[in-house]
Amino acid sequence: MISAEKRQQILSALESFGANGATVKQLSEKIHIGTSGTASYVCRLRRAGYIIEIGKVPMRSTPIYVVNNGKYQAEGPDIFEQCRANWQGYQIHKIFGSASRQVA
């Protein structure tokens, strides 16, 4: 859990980079926290929906993040929620689907 004060500090620092966004390293230099701590905060804020990844640094796999101001919303439930909702149906399918097969 991130305190409201720390969350606001990180979000305002990220907003200061504008629409171009920032990497974890750039953000850590701005808020004077180590990169591993900043990465942990970014991960938590991303899961909570406060920030989003808008792309990667060219020629690298480093993600670029911006504050989610409501402009970017998920269009439907994510794949994990769909799997969780359909899990019981899958188990029933496996039970009855494999029962009808007979070995020759």
Provide the 8-state DSSP code for 52. E
Of 23, 89, 26, nearest in space to 51 by CA? 23
Structural domain for 18, as ranges: 4-99
Q: Is residue 23 part of a domain?
A: yes
What domain count does the chain have? 1
Total-model pTM? 0.65
Provide the 8-state DSSP code for 91. H
Q: Is residue 55 part of a domain?
A: yes
Q: Hey, how many other C-beta atoms are within 10 angstroms of the C-beta on 21?
A: 20
Kindly report the CATH number assigned to the domain that includes residue 43.
1.10.10.10
Q: Is residue 104 part of a domain?
A: no
The amino acid at residue 5 is E
Tens digit of each residue's pLDDT, the chain (104 residues): 789 999 999 999 999 999 899 999 999 999 999 999 999 999 999 988 899 999 999 999 999 999 988 665 555 666 666 666 666 666 666 666 665 556 65
